[in-house]
Amino acid sequence: MVKLLSLIALCVAFCALTPSLTFASPAPSVGSIAPDFTLTSQEGTPVSLKDYRGKWVVLYFYPKDFTSGCTIEAHNFQRDLAQYQQKNVVILGVSVDTADSHKQFCTKEGLNFKLLADTDHKVSSTYDSLMTYKDMTLAARHTFIINPEGKIVKVYTDVNPNQHSTEVLAALAELQK
């Protein structure tokens, strides 16, 4: 009995010392409802995923404004923006950069779609899209295609920024049949 009480006391002490112990949730998968969020856009206004119900959404996470791969990826989405709009698709880019950084990036690169600031990393974490690079926490290059009902219908975790927009448009053509 003394050993059992000691074991219980040890368990209670461990739990008291680790109140913030959390377990990472897996990325939302195909078939699941996309977790809702509200983030600030480059225009300084709040943007919620739920505001886009009834439209297709390409939710793409990218590491950092003004870097080569991220600039290429953004330029390709911008280049193809009219095709996305014809398909009733909204592009939402997310990184851990600030809204001001996004504003400067959009101005410099001529981007006309929403870039959202996830400065506290909560949305990137919810979508299992965080990585560490050279002691910096950045959004990982992941993309989620969300249908008009809010369901995730395609997930990309191995993204080549050079061809990603073309790849997403091809997937949308199949998904919208």
Largest Cα–Cα separation, the chain: 73
| Structure token digits, residue 171 | 């997937």
The answer to whether 54 and 148 are in contact (CB under 8 A) is: yes
The answer to whether 31 and 145 are in contact (CB under 8 A) is: no
Cα–Cα distance for residue pair 85/103, rounded to 1 Å: 22
Active-site residues: which are they? 70
Phi, psi of 95 (to 5 degrees): -140, 175
Strands (E), 4-73: 38-41, 46-48, 56-61
